[in-house]
Amino acid sequence: MREIWNKKSKTYPKFSPIMRPFEAEFFAFLDECGVSFADKSVIDIGAGTGVYSLHLAKMSKSVLALDISDSMLEILSLSAKEHNITNIQTANNQITDIKDRKFDIAFLTMSPALRSDEDFEIFYNLASKHIYMNWLKPRKSNLLELFNSNSNRPDMSAPIAKLEEFLKTKNIKFKSKIINENRTATRSLDDMVENLAWHLEISGQNYTKDEIKNKIINLAKGDEISESIATCVKVIVF
């Protein structure tokens, strides 16, 4: 699993100080829920390249960015240095490795890090306030649809349903919101091939990079190609 996420780091989005509308809507909902990061310690589980972690660091006292991919965390550290963000540390670990730590806020977005009841229990015990966002529907892509990959994708809503069941079992009240986004991502042809290869591999489909390139090259404009992406996620705050 570490190897496949290290591979993903090559094409994974990096931190931008300017929030996309999707990110702005997400943080606006947290404000509506009364979440304040001021003077708080935050653990970001599955932090990746720091797309959210570095925003959190600018809002909070301190952030620990946890991820199993050392390559992702290297990019995060470089972005932190570039933007002069100094109150963030990284940990190349799994959630079970930090189960005895305590934070003010536990934060997780778009990560498969929580799989078992034990994982959810650890997440719950890490902090007094919790923010969880994950896929409610499979990510749709006009380019991936060329490979008929949707039929091989797992049920993306399963982690959300599992967390909601966990919270209901414990009689824990929560607030939630569904957020949709439609966007276009433009990359070089080679970067797009790399990105699609990763998504196909993780869904169990084996295509060579040449096969992928031949499938999409007629959609390219010069050395660039655009991908239409539809995202549907659910945010849970408790």
Q: pLDDT averaged over consecutive 10-residue blocks of the chain (238 residues)?
A: 70 89 98 98 98 98 98 97 98 96 98 92 98 94 83 66 96 98 96 93 89 97 97 98
Is 217 among the domain residues? no
CA distance 72 to 199: 17
Residue type, 11: T
Is 220 among the domain residues? no
Number of domains in the chain: 1
Q: Pick from 145, 220, 151, 218: which is nearest to 187 by CA?
A: 220
Given this model, what pLDDT does residue 48 score? 96
Is 16 among the domain residues? yes
Given this model, what pLDDT does residue 153 score? 54
CA distance 140 to 157: 14
Is 101 among the domain residues? yes
pLDDT digits (tens, 9 = 90+) for 24-53: 999 999 999 999 999 999 999 999 999 999
Given this model, what pLDDT does residue 155 score? 58
Which CATH number goes with the domain that contains 1? Answer: 3.40.50.150
CA distance 185 to 195: 11
Residue type, 124: Y
Give me the domain span that covers residue 47. 1-138+153-183+233-237
Is 164 among the domain residues? yes
227, two tokens: 């991908």
Is 69 among the domain residues? yes
Pairing mode, strands 224-237 and 41-45: unpaired
Q: Pick from 157, 137, 135, 151: which is nearest to 200 by CA?
A: 151
Return the bridge partners of 231, or none. 181
CA distance 36 to 226: 37
What pTM was estimated for this model as a whole?
Answer: 0.89
